[in-house]
């Protein structure tokens, strides 16, 4: 299988810079050119020596790349794709790391007619943003989901999958719409709930802000980690995955009302049955190596 020898990354925040570090660490022969809209980010990336070249513009960065990866917020994908269209080398593969896939597939396909587009989503991240937040092992043992359109040759999909495997990820191929429904459950709704709970707690009048913070180890602080995630990135995720999130939110609201009823009617059996089931889900996540077994996420006490 043909490995890529020249790769370009556009967008050097948490994910782009982590990928650059992983390429540096695990694929040292790859020639890596990167760019970012922000001059401060470009300067920081150059200072951190994360790439062979830091180009001023996206077009200049992609000029001879065999693989171009867009690591910008989902809402910026279309504009970046239009920006690079005229500069892409013949046969170049354009991919991305966006958290929503059907919208990005449509945006990239529209902006890049005749170009090989294979969207991807590494299901790995933190609540931090920017090039200093990245680290080389971010993708190790995490899933990277590829959502190729049907017309793309299978060997091109395998080639991109091999690239992600080389930087440490496990690879899965999925339909873009299916991806969006799965991620609505595992990522988008949990983020929405966290944003909402943290917002509600900070609006309460009966409990002071300082009490919320002081006693946060009771559970609240685990929501605050998720609710500290990048506002622009998450704004774009909800706008781009509207249907799947709204459908799931309807279901979640019903389940929440059922719990409300169980509490009102002192129905301990219903509560205990649910809490027992959810504890088993936590066990499966640990068994599959997707989190640490250490109590309290391994925090030092
Ligand atoms: P980030 O740390 O905020 O980085 C995004 C970078 O892209 C910023 O430096 C931003 O510059 C730059 N950018 C924005 N618009 C651009 C444009 N038009 N052209 C060039 N650069 C542009 O965000 P991130 O967490 O790395 O997220 C990047 C992508 O990865 C998103 O699509 C997100 O959905 C996906 N993703 C994120 C996670 C996660 O946990 N964070 C996980 C998996 C996938 P400015 O700061 O100047 O705007």
The pair of structure tokens assigned to 174 is: 């999925």
Round to whole Å and give the CA distance between 107 and 103: 6
Q: Report the largest interatomic distance among the alpha carbons of the chain, rounded to a whole angstrom.
A: 67
Whole-Å CA distances, 233 to 18, 191, 228: 16, 12, 11
Residue located nearest, by CA, to atom 42 of ligand 1: 125
User: How much is the pLDDT for 299?
Assistant: 82
Per-residue pLDDT of the chain (301 residues; tens, 9 = 90+): 579 999 999 999 999 999 999 999 999 999 999 999 999 999 999 999 999 999 999 999 999 999 999 999 999 999 999 999 999 999 999 999 999 999 999 999 999 999 999 999 999 999 999 999 999 999 999 999 999 999 999 999 999 999 999 999 999 999 999 999 999 999 999 999 999 999 998 888 777 778 888 888 888 999 999 999 999 999 999 999 999 999 999 999 999 999 999 999 999 999 999 999 999 999 999 999 988 888 888 888 7
Query: What is the model's pLDDT at position 206?
Result: 72
With tokens 């077009």, the residue in question is 59
CA 34 to ligand 1 center in whole angstroms = 13
Looking up tokens 């996540």 gives 285
- Distance CA(181)–CA(176), nearest Å, equals 9
Closest ligand 1 atom to residue 80 Cα is 18
Query: 13 CA to middle of ligand 1, Å?
Result: 5
**In the 8-state DSSP scheme, what is residue 194?**
H
Distance 116 CA to ligand 1 centre (A): 22
Q: Tell me how far apart the alpha carbons of residues 14 and 133 are, in angstroms, rounded to a whole number.
A: 5
What is the Cα–Cα distance from 198 to 186, expressed in whole angstroms?
Answer: 19
What domains can you pick out in the chain, each with its CATH number?
6-174 (3.40.50.720), 178-290 (1.10.3660.10)
pTM comes to 0.94
């Amino acid at each position: 299988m043909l490995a890529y020898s020249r790769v370009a990354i556009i967008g050097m925040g948490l994910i782009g810079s982590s990928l650059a570090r992983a390429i540096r660490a695990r694929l040292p022969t790859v020639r890596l050119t990167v760019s970012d809209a922000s001059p401060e980010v470009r300067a920081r990336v150059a200072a951190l020596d994360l790439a062979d070249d830091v180009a001023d513009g996206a077009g200049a960065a992609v000029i001879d790349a065999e693989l171009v990866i867009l690591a910008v917020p989902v809402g910026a994908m279309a504009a970046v794709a239009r920006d690079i269209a005229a500069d892409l080398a013949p046969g170049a593969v354009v991919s991305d790391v966006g958290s929503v896939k059907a919208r990005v597939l449509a945006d990239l396909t529209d902006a890049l007619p005749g170009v090989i587009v294979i969207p991807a989503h590494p299901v790995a991240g933190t609540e931090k943003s920017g090039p200093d937040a990245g680290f080389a092992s971010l993708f190790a043992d995490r899933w990277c989901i590829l959502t190729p359109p049907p017309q793309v040759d299978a060997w091109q999909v395998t080639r991109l999958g091999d690239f992600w495997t080389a930087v440490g990820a496990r690879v899965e191929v999925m339909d873009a719409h299916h991806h969006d429904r799965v991620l609505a459950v595992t990522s988008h709704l949990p983020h929405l709930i966290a944003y909402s709970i943290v917002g509600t707690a900070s609006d309460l009048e009966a409990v002071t802000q300082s009490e919320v913070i002081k006693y946060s180890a009771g559970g609240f602080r685990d929501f605050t980690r998720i609710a500290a995630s990048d506002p622009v990135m998450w704004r774009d995720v909800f706008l781009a995955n509207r249907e799947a999130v709204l459908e799931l939110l309807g279901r979640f609201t019903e389940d929440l009302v059922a719990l409300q009823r169980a509490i009102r009617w002192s129905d301990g059996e219903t509560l205990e049955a649910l809490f027992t089931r959810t504890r088993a889900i936590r066990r499966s996540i640990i068994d599959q190596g997707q989190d640490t077994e250490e109590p309290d996420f391994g925090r030092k006490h």
